[in-house]
């Protein structure tokens, strides 16, 4: 159902002196219907990046990604949208929805998009919201007004509303209490039982042991340096470009440190692109922090 072969990915920071950050090289895996494969590896090794390439959010520098017979790496945007609507579900770490749309409509939308009648779609949404312990009094409200945990559960309900043949799950049980975590595990197990091909990122070892048929260590796909040694994902390939990148990131790192010291990570002074750049590499941020302390 899902086949990844020889995939490579790097990011070019055009506003940071053209620094090139290699992330993945030669990535490959296969997931059959009814199988769950867990992506493992250290933070920053490229697990979420690989998942976003499979979903078509990130362009691919090389290799092939087949999902249900569609070559995602070279597909037209309309084909990608059709794939997402009908065959490939994605539960991300954060809920992103149109403001002021009620939670029940947010959850029902994937069913409506594939032609299910409104009554059936809303019944499905009510079932999932109930299972995930979202109070009925909140169903008519925008989930953007909910707590973080409630938003996560609405996001999961939306992801499981339609019976996708393939699913991508990015830390679906993170920060959930025991009861809701058990519900999510049951939903994933039911999806496997009906034949869904699943790729997941599960940091909890017990969750992986329960759900995953196999594990793929993404750190095995770290790019190699010119001397043949592995290069840590997120490390710029050029010393000169690295200097430019470090200089440009210093201001951003200060903002991150201020936010972290304040007890939350909310880089309010940064653009979305800049925030993404910061999140690309834990290693770079660590280096910057050391430079600032020095």
Tens digit of each residue's pLDDT (9 = 90 or more) over 43-62: 889 999 999 999 999 999 99
- Percent pLDDT > 90 in the chain is 68
Residues 73 and 1 reside in one and the same domain: yes
- Asked whether residue 113 is assigned to any structural domain, the reply reads yes
Residues 136 and 252 reside in one and the same domain: no
The average pLDDT across 246-272 equals: 49
What b/e readout covers 149-184, taking b as 16+ CB neighbours within 10 angstroms? ebbbbbbbbbbbbbbbbbbbbbbbbeebeeebbebb
Q: Are 84 and 105 in contact (CB under 8 A)?
A: no
| 126-166 tens-digit pLDDT | 999 999 999 999 999 999 999 999 999 999 999 999 999 99
Residues 155 and 27 reside in one and the same domain: no
- Asked whether residue 261 is assigned to any structural domain, the reply reads yes
Long-range pairs for 258-264 at CB < 8 Å and ≥24 separation?
Answer: none
Which has the higher per-residue pLDDT, 226 or 214?
A: 214
Helices 148-161 and 178-193, packing angle to 10 deg:
10
- Asked whether residue 149 is assigned to any structural domain, the reply reads yes
Q: What is the reported pLDDT for 250?
A: 52
- Asked whether residue 93 is assigned to any structural domain, the reply reads no
Residues 10 and 76 reside in one and the same domain: yes
Residue where a domain stops, chosen among 111, 132, 161: 161
Residues 54 and 142 reside in one and the same domain: no
Enumerate residues 6+ apart whose C-beta is below 8 A from 200: 36, 37, 38, 39, 168, 169, 170, 172, 188, 211, 212
| 208-218 tens-digit pLDDT | 999 999 999 99
Q: 5: domain range?
A: 1-87+164-225
Number of structural domains (the chain) is 3
Residues 71 and 168 reside in one and the same domain: yes
The CATH number given to whatever domain includes residue 15 is 3.40.50.300
Residues 193 and 207 reside in one and the same domain: yes
Residues 151 and 171 reside in one and the same domain: no
Residues 75 and 7 reside in one and the same domain: yes
- Asked whether residue 232 is assigned to any structural domain, the reply reads no
pLDDT higher than 50, residue 268: no
The average pLDDT across 174-189 equals: 95
Residues 59 and 173 reside in one and the same domain: yes
CA gap 158, 36 in Å, rounded = 20
Residues 151 and 181 reside in one and the same domain: no
Q: What is the reported pLDDT for 93?
A: 85
């Amino acid at each position: 159902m899902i086949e990844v072969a020889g995939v490579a990915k790097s990011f070019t920071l055009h506003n940071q002196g053209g620094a090139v950050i290699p992330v993945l090289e030669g990535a490959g895996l296969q997931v059959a219907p009814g199988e769950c494969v867990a992506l493992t590896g250290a933070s920053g090794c490229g697990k979420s990046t690989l998942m976003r390439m499979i979903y078509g959010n990130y362009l691919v520098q090389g290799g092939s990604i087949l999902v249900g017979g569609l070559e995602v790496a070279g597909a037209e945007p309309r084909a990608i949208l059709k794939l997402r609507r009908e065959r490939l579900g994605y539960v991300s770490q954060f809920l992103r929805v149109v403001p002021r749309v009620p939670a029940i409509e947010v959850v029902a939308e994937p069913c409506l998009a594939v032609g299910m009648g409104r009554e059936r779609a809303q019944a499905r949404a009510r079932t999932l919201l109930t299972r995930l312990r979202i109070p009925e009094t909140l169903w008519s409200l925008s989930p953007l007004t909910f707590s973080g945990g409630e938003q996560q559960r609405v996001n999961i309900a939306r992801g499981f509303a339609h019976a996708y043949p393939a699913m991508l799950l990015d830390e679906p049980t993170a920060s959930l209490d025991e009861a809701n975590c058990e519900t999510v595990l049951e939903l994933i197990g039911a999806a496997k039982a009906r034949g869904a091909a699943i790729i997941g990122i599960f940091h909890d070892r017990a969750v992986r042991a329960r759900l995953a048929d196999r594990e793929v260590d993404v750190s095995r796909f770290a790019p190699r340096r010119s001397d043949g040694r592995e290069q840590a994902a997120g490390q710029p390939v050029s010393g000169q470009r690295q200097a430019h990148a470090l200089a440009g990131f210093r201001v951003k790192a200060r903002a991150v440190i201020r936010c972290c010291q304040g007890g939350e990570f909310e880089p309010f002074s940064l653009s979305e692109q800049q925030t993404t750049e910061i999140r690309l590499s834990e290693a770079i941020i660590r280096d910057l922090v050391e430079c600032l302390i020095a």
